[in-house]
Amino acid sequence: MSLVFDEFGRPFVIIRDQENKQRLTGVDAIKSHILAAKTVANIMRSSLGPRGLDKIMVSADGDVTVTNDGATILQRMEVEHQIAKLLVQLSKSQDDEIGDGTTGVHLCLTDSPFPLPPRPPPPSTPPPPPTPLSLRPLIRTLPPPDRGLHPIRIADGFERACQIAIKRLDEIADTVEFSNDNIEPLLKTASTSLGSKIVSKFLPLYADIAVRAVLSVADLERKDVDFDLIKMTGKVGGSMEDTRLVHGVVLDKEISHPQMDKEITDAKISILTCPFEPPKPKTKHKLDISSVAEYEKLQEYERKVFEDMILRVKESGSNLVVCQWGFDDEANHLLMLHDLPAIRWVGGPELELIAIATNGRIVPRFEELSEGKLGHAGRVREVTFGTSKDRMIFIENCENSRAVTVLVRGGNAMLIEEIKRSLHDAMCVTRNLIRDNRIVYGGGSAEIACSIAISAEADSVPSIEQYAMRAYAAALDAVPMALAENSGFSPIDELTSVKAAQIAEGNSRLGVDANDKGTNDMREQYVFDPLISKKQQLLLATQLVKMILKIDDVIISGSQ
């Protein structure tokens, strides 16, 4: 891009390869941004709440994913629009930081049902064409000439409204007390997250698994949770209610030889990253064998090397070998003869988890193996699932009881992956409550309370920011409206009824009765959301809106 002047001294801009570029400026650019954001929100809207619907995502390779997890939906979507890509990044940020609430953050960002009064056009200007209904929510925040509001003033109003909402959330939050002996509040919070997932039929089971897995690896004094100590693995077959929590490590492997022991008690485990094979020269070499005697000599050398390796393992006191690499049939046979069960081809992350769980050391060379580097487990067993060819290794009763594995069962791989995502969300919600034990109530009650507070505060704002604050308040109403719509209720009727009840009773816990339990009090229904999750939704959405409002020129490079 360069700046030049015509013969009258007037400046104008020349863009390099202008004929190959697309450019949107001013109101057209902001309209394009709003349309992109609205399209994403409409996709996500129907997946919100316990009555939300799932999406089926088909990749270019034909891989099918069925999910209602907001982060997964956006990650699997092929988005072209630049603003839609920002929304995908927003979803990833919410998922990385909080782990849940990715659908709600987009509804807060892009939806709002009530238009603000537009600035009347000058008398000589013909009336503008009617705004399509799908664009009305955010069109009202457009800069002149559409509405006469400067984008920066809108952004300032949004920021002011966000601070009011954050303050209101702190006011209506309740503190819950829990411990290893009293996990009921954690179970209720995890159940709220799982209520909209595919596992909702087995809600008590999966909530208990998620909470106990997190508590197993949590340090309640430091309020810290190490998710690296939680492994989730799946095995196709069985039903969803066969999913279980294992206090130890589960490997999708089997004992290397059929005649080795299938169960070892008081296991002393040598964790090896060195292969069971003769050492190889470090340079290129060629071995010529010209007679049977020379071949037998080579075979005897290999056997001696294998026996020396096995002897070193036995001398250390180990009675189980876990090896990162494979070994041939001869080495496997020798291990069996020396009564030394082995597991081969174990991945690096699994080796690290075994070392942590058993308090063992990973040994890179046989010469370094000693009794002090062995891991210890109360029981190691091979478990058969379904047919005799489908086996897994369970390493249980480990010295470090903080390492756990969730074994997920389901009818197909797609179902197992969705269950894993559901459990991950529930675990993240539980972790958030351990970090900050303050909660707000779900069902859209927190959003309605914030909307009422912002609307009341807007009445006392004399500046033009009042319009932006009202727009922000109306945008928050999108969450209870979506919940009502997905539950088969009239969105407007449900919203006005609940909002009027909140104001009349002064009860910020009233929300949408999506589960049709006969009460709108979310505390009675035990619908809990961590406070930090709600705060993060509003903060991230507001930051992104402010950034989008400041964009008034889009230049898209093209190709000839």
Q: Report how far residue 439's alpha carbon sits from residue 527's, in angstroms, rounded to the nearest whole number.
A: 10
Concatenating the DSSP letter of every residue in 449-474 gives HHHHHHHHHHTT--STHHHHHHHHHH
**Does the annotation count 273 as an active-site position?**
no
Q: Give φ, ψ of 392 to 5 degrees.
A: -140, 155
Residues in the chain: 560
The angle at the Cα of 529, spanning 524 to 531, to the nearest 5 degrees, equals 125
Concatenating the DSSP letter of every residue in 353-386 gives HHHHHHT--EESSGGG--GGG-EEEEEEEEEE-S
Q: Are strands 375-384 and 391-398 parallel, antiparallel or unpaired?
A: antiparallel
Task: Find out whether 457 and 469 touch, Cβ atoms under 8 Å.
Answer: yes
Task: Find out whether 356 and 334 touch, Cβ atoms under 8 Å.
Answer: no
Q: How far is Cα of residue 144 from the mean position of the Cα atoms in its chain?
A: 39
**Does the annotation count 131 as an active-site position?**
no
- Classify the C-alpha dihedral 425-430-434-439 as positive or negative: positive
- Catalytic residue among 95, 100, 146, 425, which? 425
**Does the annotation count 175 as an active-site position?**
no
The angle at the Cα of 284, spanning 283 to 287, to the nearest 5 degrees, equals 120
What the block records as the tokens of 146 is: 């559409």
Q: Report how far residue 25's alpha carbon sits from residue 20's, in angstroms, rounded to the nearest whole number.
A: 17
Look at residues 454, 402, 400 and name the one whose alpha carbon lies nearest to residue 158: 454
Look at residues 52, 40, 116 and name the one whose alpha carbon lies nearest to residue 458: 116
- Catalytic residue among 69, 146, 477, 521, which? 69
Reduced to 3 states (helix: H, G, I; strand: E, B; else coil), residue 201 is helix
- Catalytic residue among 103, 405, 430, 542, which? 103
- What are the E-state strand segments in 87-229? 174-175, 218-219, 224-225
- Catalytic residue among 65, 67, 72, 102, which? 102
**Does the annotation count 102 as an active-site position?**
yes
Task: Find out whether 255 and 392 touch, Cβ atoms under 8 Å.
Answer: no
Which residues are catalytically annotated? 69, 102-103, 425
